[in-house]
Each structure stands twice: as structure tokens, then as C-alpha cells.
């Protein structure tokens, strides 16, 4: 698995051995970041269920200012730290604006003033139906009125999420049991179908 664009393009990312994570494919990440290109420069992100950190590190490589990786598995946390060092070196940018937190995603929330512009969510597929609505209800409280974040939620093609207060404005990928990425924006601020 490699970074697919930006200053760290081609950098190989470490992935924990075994079935600790299910990394997003290179093709899926390329499609996601092509859709997000205009939002990336200077953006802050949160990578939830971060695994290898691929989504957040791809954002950083392509111009995001920095962000937070939230992952509770210790082996995955170690891989994220190593991946941050490799990507920061390749981009010639300090990794000081990238933080790794070993925490349960469903109980974590950003510090005051640290709300993100982009949220990447790539949970274990078996927990999406139950955890998805809980997560979106927690996310809603992160931003002030009028803020327009994008939540990119990876899930299998046969699942659909319709969280209260959010609108799916775009979905990449298709087919049952195939990875897809759904782009959600807050219903109160959606003015078009662009992520």
C-alpha cells in the first residue's frame, strides 16, 4: 500500500500484520482524494478507526495542514507513528501537526478549537450498522452552526447509512461486498452535491 499523490507519492505504508486492520485500497483512496482536491489545501482532518493512517496521511501528502489519528489497537498505533515519520520526511514537512491518539473512537471527541474540516471513517465493516448512527450523532456536536465539514465513510456497497442531520452527497464504488466511500455533509448547509 502506497501514498497515491502529493509530496509523499509512492511512499510505502506499513500495515499491522494479521487482521488488525482492513486498509483502504489505493484505488479507493485515489478516487476519494480526486473528489476532495479543492478542500485539501490547509485543511485539518480526523482519521477515525485509523488503522495504518492511510486516509489521513494521504490528505497530509496532498496539502492538508495536519490532523489527528484515532486508533485503539496498539500495533496499529505503532504503524501509524512509523508511517507519519516516513510521510513527513518525504514531504519535507514536520510531522508535528500530526497526532496519534490511542483511544476508542466512539468515546473520543476533539479538543475545544480543534474541530476538523474533514473526517475519515473506515471502521470494521461488521460494526457499521450499530456504530454508524451513534458516531454521526456524536459528530454533530463537534462543529458550530454553519460549519461545513465533509465526512468520508467507507463501507461495503450493500450498506446504506441515513444519519439524522446529514446528507450523502456522493458515493464512490459499487457492488455488494465491495468497498464504497460515502461523502456526507450536514443537511443544514448542503447547497449542492459536491463534497
In the predicted structure, residue 21 carries a pLDDT above the cut 80: no
pLDDT at 194: 65
Q: How confident is the model at residue 189 (pLDDT cuts 50, 70, 90)?
A: confident
Mean pLDDT for the stretch of residues 65-80: 95
Which grid coordinates are listed for 132? 454508524
User: Cell numbers 509512492 label which residue?
Assistant: 10
Reduced to 3 states, what is the DSSP secondary structure of residue 48?
Answer: strand
* Confidence label for 1 from pLDDT (cuts 50, 70 and 90): confident
Interval 155-181 mean pLDDT: 89
pLDDT (average), residues 135-153: 91
Q: Is the pLDDT of residue 20 over 70?
A: no
- Percentage of the chain modeled with pLDDT above 70: 94
| Residue 177: pLDDT band with limits 50, 70, 90 | confident
Say whether 79 sits in a helix, a strand or coil. helix
Whether the per-residue pLDDT at 18 is higher than 80: the answer is: no
123, 69, 14, 182: CA torsion to nearest 10: 40
- Mean pLDDT for 111-130 is 88
* Digit-coded pLDDT (tens) for 22-64: 666 777 888 999 999 999 999 999 999 999 999 999 999 999 9
Residue 193: pLDDT over 60 = no
Strand extents, DSSP E, the chain: 44-48, 66-70, 98-101, 118-121, 150-156, 166-172, 179-186
User: Which has more confidence, 188 or 153?
Assistant: 153
Domain architecture of the chain: domains with CATH? 26-186 (3.40.50.150)
Grid cell of 13 as nine digits: 505504508
Mean pLDDT of 115-126: 92
- Its pTM stands at 0.93
Cell numbers representing residue 57 in the block: 496521511
Amino acid at each position: 500500500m502506497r501514498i497515491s499523490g502529493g509530496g509523499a507519492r509512492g511512499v510505502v505504508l506499513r500495515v499491522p500484520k494479521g487482521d488488525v486492520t482492513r486498509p483502504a485500497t489505493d484505488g479507493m483512496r485515489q478516487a476519494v482524494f480526486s473528489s476532495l482536491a479543492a478542500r485539501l489545501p490547509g485543511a485539518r482532518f480526523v482519521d477515525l478507526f485509523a488503522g495504518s493512517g492511510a486516509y489521513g496521511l494521504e490528505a497530509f501528502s496532498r496539502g492538508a495542514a495536519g490532523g489527528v489519528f484515532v486508533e485503539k489497537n496498539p500495533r496499529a498505533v505503532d504503524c501509524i507513528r512509523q508511517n507519519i515519520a516516513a510521510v513527513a520526511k518525504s514531504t519535507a514537512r514536520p510531522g508535528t501537526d500530526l497526532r496519534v491518539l490511542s483511544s476508542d473512537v466512539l468515546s473520543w471527541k476533539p479538543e475545544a478549537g480543534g474541530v476538523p474540516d474533514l473526517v475519515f471513517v473506515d471502521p470494521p465493516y461488521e460494526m457499521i450498522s450499530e456504530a454508524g448512527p451513534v458516531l454521526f450523532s456524536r459528530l454533530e456536536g463537534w462543529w458550530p452552526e454553519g460549519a461545513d465539514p465533509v465526512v468520508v465513510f467507507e463501507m461495503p456497497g450493500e450498506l446504506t447509512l441515513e444519519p439524522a442531520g446529514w446528507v450523502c452527497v456522493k458515493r464512490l464504488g459499487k457492488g455488494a461486498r465491495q468497498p464504497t466511500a460515502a461523502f456526507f455533509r450536514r443537511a443544514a448547509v448542503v447547497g449542492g452535491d459536491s463534497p
